[in-house]
Amino acid sequence: MISIDRTANRSVHDQLVEQLRYLIVSGHYKLGDTLPSTRTLAAQLEVSFHTVRKAYQTLEQQGLLEARVGSGYRVKERAPLGKAERMERGAAVLHEALQRLIGLGLEEPEIEYLFAEQTELFGTAGLGPKLVFIGRYREEADLCARQLTMLLQQPVEAATPAEVSRHQDADYVIARYADLETIRTQIPRADVLGVILYPAQPALERVTRLLPHQTLGLITRHTDAIQPLTQDLRYWTRFEGQIIAASIEAGSRHLDPFLEQTDALIYTPSCRRSLLAHLESSREAVAVTPVIARDSLDLLRERIPS
């Protein structure tokens, strides 16, 4: 849902504030919803968590969020802007947009066409079905939702089991077959569809090269990924050796002694940047990402209207 353009003239902070404000005002984040933690969102976007925190604080100052001790930032009830202030702020945004379009070399008829096209798209944006992918852990949910968004050419939201209650209005919910029965009872109005997930082939190949007496190291961003990933790796490779795991949720200082105990290393994608500083140039490490089976994708295309 949020993307950072690192070639843009605008700062990452400003891009974050603008996109988060849109998600709040458009209803993606509803009153009382808790936004992703600063570290979680920073890891997803590969930016500093200080930048995310500053963006949240800016939105708090603007009256869109409130900070709750121990539970992060939540969308708060706010008084609507008066017409004069809405018009003033809107004029400033439009002026900036026009300057950027003219700077790109667009001529007046082209700008008029783009405004008409985008206005029409906004008018129909809410007519499509709401799609949600529910993963067992945060990274699985985010990565699979991105895959599905790209392959289905429709926005797919990511959720974990703890966030299911936020998506009672979903039209289609996608999850592993093993989780469908539980989800159907939690979101009875949705059409709940199953998919087959498996770890990407490079990670599986690396594990199968290990001998039974060797040790596999698994590093994840959050602890909620450790158990399901360990189970997946054993199921798909039949590896019988030792698997030790660590998360970098609280930092990466513990990684050096951890790495000394391993013969091979598997990590989740959002750990890559933190992990590189601890690896020797000769040390091989392979990312483990969830892959949705092709026949599952074909079935989703048949069941979900485009």
Model confidence over 196-218: pLDDT tens digits?
A: 999 999 999 999 999 999 999 99
Report the pLDDT averaged over residues 279-299: 86
Residue 15 burial by Cβ neighbours in a 10 Å radius (0-12, 13-18, 19+): buried
61: left (phi over 0), alpha (psi -120 to 50) or beta: alpha
Looking at the DSSP bridge assignments, the partners of residue 167 are none
- pLDDT tens string 227-243: 999 999 999 999 999 99
In this prediction, residue 228 carries a pLDDT of 96
Is a pLDDT exceeding 70 seen at residue 125? no
Domain ranges of the chain: 12-75, 83-126, 128-197+294-303, 201-288
In this prediction, residue 229 carries a pLDDT of 96
Pick the CATH number of 128-197+294-303 from 3.30.70.360, 3.40.50.2300, 3.40.50.11540, 3.20.20.70: 3.40.50.2300
Name the DSSP class of 79: P
Residue 129: strand, helix, or coil: coil
Is a pLDDT exceeding 60 seen at residue 123? no
DSSP labels, 18-41: HHHHHHHHTTSSPTTPBPPPHHHH
Is a pLDDT exceeding 90 seen at residue 92? no
Report the pLDDT averaged over residues 79-90: 72
In this prediction, residue 251 carries a pLDDT of 81
Alpha carbon distance 120, 210 (integer Å) = 56
Report the pLDDT averaged over residues 28-40: 84
Question: Which pLDDT band holds residue 265 (cuts at 50, 70, 90)?
Answer: very high
Question: Mean pLDDT score of the chain, rounded to an integer?
Answer: 86
Alpha carbon distance 290, 176 (integer Å) = 11
Alpha carbon distance 271, 248 (integer Å) = 7
Least confident residue range of 36-40, 76-80, 260-264: 76-80
128-197+294-303 and 201-288 in the same fold: yes
What CATH code would you report for 12-75?
Answer: 1.10.10.10
In this prediction, residue 174 carries a pLDDT of 96
Pick the CATH number of 201-288 from 3.40.640.10, 3.40.50.11420, 3.20.20.60, 3.40.30.10: 3.40.50.11420
Is a pLDDT exceeding 90 seen at residue 71? no
In this prediction, residue 194 carries a pLDDT of 96
